[in-house]
């Protein structure tokens, strides 16, 4: 049988979908599972957006669009990005794709060369596709650790120490997956000060949770002096408007927009025209549905953090954004006699029927930071209450001594 490439063999995955498949199999066997493993709003897409998609279908908007996207959507994205960040963005700076995820690959492909030692710094723990795509594209992954003591942000001094002559790209994510951490204005300014010393460095700013900030303000690196030109702003429709399955993302950078457009031409041709027209309505139409989801997520965050901090052996910081919590379960692992968070996760799933992800699903475990698991609180209050109650009972029932 013909062999596979090294690239194919090294390609990683998104473990949320792996665990989701495991959950589905257990459910088919009749097991009662409460799942917190997938980062997906549990709301329907707002009705006004649904209607815009239906109208696009009925109006015959079924064909290809320009690879960069329809001008109406790019104009809407440019206006929205600019107004919310206090910067000027032109429609020609914006490229649309089938989700925000493709832009991770497009960015790495556009600023690094395969096998030449070009380095990409990325957050750890972080969205697992960052490291996977860095490796697949033939660049060198350089993790920078997020610390619990810093609200799950990295120390800017560590960033400065990791930048070398080979560093071509820094990936930022705020609010963050998996921790829910938010980079403050002061921290962003410290990052910008360091980057001004290294003009060769591009920045991929993953801002897909930018509208889901509950404490403080959302700050983009692109807002700061001298930073917009080198920052790739990446955002999308999935999280804000519950449009995960519609697949709609966008990126903005004046220099790289023509390059990204060519990548889209070479890969997906264009995003679905129907989805793009729905996206226009999502951005420019009524925001009542988005506000309802935002308020619900904030209430759920407060609920799950309060409940988790009452569980034996668990401590949980209050995350500033997104819809994830990243509780520390180091003591809980000791209480039930398991080696690490992954053993804890597996037993919690099979013995208590609660599905979460472990810290190693988001990169190598950060030294001296203990054990963590991720809950997505894109789940009902009832599911949160029942799930955390099962977690607490699981720990109590299995505690040693």
Identify the CATH number of the domain defined by range 47-284: 3.40.640.10
Q: Mean per-residue pLDDT for 277-291?
A: 98
Over 80: is that where the pLDDT of 16 sits?
no
| pLDDT, tens digit, 9 for 90 and up, residues 156-176 | 999 999 999 999 999 999 999
**Between 73 and 12, whose confidence is greater?**
73
Given a contact cutoff of 8 angstroms between Cβ atoms, the answer to whether 122 and 171 are in contact is yes
Q: What is the pLDDT of residue 39?
A: 85
| pLDDT, tens digit, 9 for 90 and up, residues 191-250 | 999 999 999 999 999 999 999 999 989 999 999 999 999 999 999 999 999 999 999 999
Q: What is the pLDDT of residue 20?
A: 80
Closest CA to 356 of 316, 310, 321, 318: 316
| Average pLDDT across the chain, whole number | 96
Radius of gyration of the chain (CA): 21
Separation in Å, CA 284 to CA 59, 210, 279, 281: 19, 17, 8, 5
| pLDDT, tens digit, 9 for 90 and up, residues 346-381 | 999 999 999 999 999 999 999 999 999 999 999 999
Location of each CATH 3.40.640.10 domain in the chain:
47-284
Q: How is domain 6-44+289-398 classified at the architecture level of CATH?
A: Alpha-Beta Complex (3.90)
Residue 323 corresponds to which tokens in the numbers above? Answer: 């819809």
Over 80: is that where the pLDDT of 297 sits?
yes
Closest CA to 319 of 173, 181, 158, 124: 181
Which residues is 88 bridged to in the sheet?
Answer: none
Q: Mean per-residue pLDDT for 118-146?
A: 97
Location of each CATH 3.90.1150.10 domain in the chain:
6-44+289-398
Burial 70-84 (b: 16+ CB within 10 A, else e): beebbbbbbbbbbee
Q: What is the pLDDT of residue 24?
A: 85
Over 60: is that where the pLDDT of 401 sits?
no
Q: Quote the pTM value.
A: 0.95
Q: What is the pLDDT of residue 11?
A: 83
């Amino acid at each position: 049988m013909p062999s596979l490439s090294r690239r194919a063999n090294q390609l990683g995955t998104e473990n949320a979908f792996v665990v989701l498949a495991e959950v589905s199999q257990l459910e088919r066997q009749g097991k009662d599972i409460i799942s917190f493993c997938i980062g997906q709003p549990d709301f329907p897409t707002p009705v006004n957006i649904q209607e815009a998609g239906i109208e696009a279908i009925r109006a015959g908007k079924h064909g290809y669009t320009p690879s960069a996207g329809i001008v109406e959507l790019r104009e809407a994205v440019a206006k929205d990005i600019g107004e919310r960040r206090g910067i000027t963005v032109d429609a020609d700076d914006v490229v649309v794709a089938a989700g925000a995820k493709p832009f991770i690959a497009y960015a790495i492909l556009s600023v690094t060369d395969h096998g030449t030692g070009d380095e990409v710094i990325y957050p750890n723990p972080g969205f697992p596709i960052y490291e996977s795509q860095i490796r697949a594209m033939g660049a060198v992954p350089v993790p920078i650790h997020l610390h619990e003591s810093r609200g799950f942000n990295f120390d800017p001094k560590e960033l400065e120490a990791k930048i070398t002559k080979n560093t071509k790209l820094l990936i930022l994510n705020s609010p963050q997956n998996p921790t829910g951490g938010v980079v403050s204005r002061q921290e962003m300014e410290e990052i910008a000060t360091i980057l001004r010393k290294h003009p060769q460095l591009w920045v991929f700013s993953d801002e897909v949770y930018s509208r889901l900030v509950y404490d403080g303000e959302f700050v983009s690196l692109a807002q700061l002096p001298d930073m917009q030109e080198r920052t790739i702003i990446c955002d999308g429709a999935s999280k804000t408007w519950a449009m995960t399955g519609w697949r709609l993302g966008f990126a903005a950078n004046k220099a790289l927009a023509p390059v990204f457009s060519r990548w889209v031409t070479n890969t997906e041709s264009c995003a679905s025209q129907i989805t793009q027209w729905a996206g226009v309505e999502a951005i420019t139409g009524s925001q009542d549905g988005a506000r309802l989801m935002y308020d619900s997520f904030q209430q759920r965050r407060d609920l799950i953090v309060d409940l988790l901090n009452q569980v034996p052996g668990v401590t949980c910081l209050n995350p500033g954004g997104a819809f994830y919590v990243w509780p520390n379960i180091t003591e809980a692992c000791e209480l039930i006699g398991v080696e690490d968070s992954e053993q804890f996760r597996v037993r919690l799933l099979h013995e208590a029927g609660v599905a979460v992800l472990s810290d190693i699903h988001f990169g190598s475990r950060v030294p001296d930071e203990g054990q963590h698991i991720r809950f997505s609180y894109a789940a009902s209050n009832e599911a949160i209450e029942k799930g955390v109650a099962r977690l607490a009972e699981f720990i109590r029932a299995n505690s040693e001594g």
